[in-house]
Structure 1
Amino acid sequence: MEEIKIIVDEIFNNTRIDKVLASSMECKSRSHIQGLIESGNVIVNGKAVKSNYKVKTSDDIVITVPEPSQLDIKAENIDIDIVYEDSDIVIVNKAQGMVVHPAPGNYSGTLVNALLYHCKDLSSINGVIRPGIVHRIDKDTSGLLVVAKNDFAHMKLAEQFKEHSITREYIALVEGTMKTMEGTIDAPLGRHPKDRLKFAIVEHGKRAVTHYKLIENFAREALVLCRLETGRTHQIRVHMASINHPLVGDPVYGFKKQRFKSEGQLLHAKTIGFLHPTKNEYMEFTSDIPEYFEEIIKKLRGN
């Protein structure tokens, strides 16, 4: 049984609690969260609440997540964009809104469910809940991931991630115009001291380095290329927010009021490059930003 504690951030003030938890708990579906609320497993300021309860700033929320009674990860015929595949690896261009791997309360509709259908063999290093998954990107971040089809490939890729030798570039639309052409953010990341579902720059966190370069300034936003030297959870989102350029559409670290309709942060994993685990040759893959992202860019250029 897992207990999660959250203190409500100001950006969520007067928002339904099921919507707040769905935004914060990326690996949990909204229906699962509503089930937790209805079963009395969500306590606000010491009292059980209903799904339509509107949270207040500084509300103290405690969520009890029961252990699953049975683990059954099923293969599902879900369309996914496979960019490349051989006997060792699969490169997938993940859509925004898709969770990478199952978690308690959300065992279907994930990339892993789709991979189990499309690829019969996946590495077993991360167990039955995350087969083949060497790294992940957030649910509402789109773009490229490399997946391991066997344990040897998994170990070789994991070594490169550990050594920070993997090429990873992201396209991000951020709030505010950039006054510098490029820069580096070197700031350690760890769990937020008051909200364990968020990350923050903390003194004793893990080293995190993001290099950024301006692509194009608009009237009130900027298109930026971010290159990861390290790969911490929410790294780009936290780092860009720390220099007053949060990602457009980010419900956790971004502005409360958004000018554009988006299902989440406008962040796309554009490039991934690495040494092939058996061929020992450098391979690099790129993908274009998705259509909804491109449409927003066109609007900004039109203005």
Structure 2
Amino acid sequence: MRVIDRDEVARLLDHARGIALVRAAMIALAQGHSSQLLRGILDLGGGDAFGVMPGALDGAGFGAKIVSVFPAAAATGRSHQGVIVLFDRDSGAPACVVDAGEVTAIRTACASAVATDALARADATTLAILGSGEQAWHHALALRHVRPLSRIALWGRDGGKARELAERVSAELGVPTRVFDRVRDATRDADIVCTVTAASEPILAFDDVAAGTHVNAVGSSRAGPVEIDPRFVSRARFIPDHREGVLAQGAEFLRAKQLGLASDDDVGPDIGRVLAGTAAGRRDAREVTVYKSLGSIVQDLACAAWLRRAVAEN
């Protein structure tokens, strides 16, 4: 059984490859060529959690991601740490163990890029990122593959950290990046908004975005922390990564339902159906669209299976 560590994942799995793998995995999930159970989450208190995500994907195998989520750890390392265990479909034997932190960092941003390609306006070029951690960097890296970014607006609670990230993005990606002190100033002229924070209460209001904006809501991956205004659920075209999961564990939807602002009918079809062309995504140029990302194990399994093959070939 091969162990594929963080450095090997980073060396082999780039964002362009990740986008292709995630796109295929989400279509497979929507078409019944894969399966996944609702994630099991153990609340450890203080915002920390332990999660288990089991699933199977045709052509990849089956297995689970076992991960800890410690938001405070992001200040000195990474908030998501763990392993993906992939089993061989033919023999039932464990085939490889992969560093889950690095895969999660890459595939989460790639999933947002896939959704952006499907849901954002074709002429979208301006990006706002709310957050200044690992996911903010990876989202800048990934989204440039699906839209020609002309500028990036950045907001983060830690102004110094946000400025450091802005300098890095400008220098390494060649995209002019500016830090804003207020969320609304960062988002009001953006075609695409990505929320990648550890916020427990909404940081993005519905009125903070213009008509025609696409939002990737990424930071909250379980019931509890609410990162965006619950009004987005009913007022926008609200597309989940996996509808069953968002109905049960999507914090913004659950908050909106509790407040009487939305019902199950306001949650649209799986992104995989939109990608496959069997369901509508954006319906007009002025519609606000939202991709609600909880994270799907089939994305991790697709990446792990590809990495297993790539390592064998090298």
TM-score by length of 2: 0.28
Higher relative contact order (CA 8 A, sep 6+): 2
Bigger Rg, which one: 1
More helix by share: 2
TM-score, with normalisation over the residues of structure 1?
Answer: 0.29
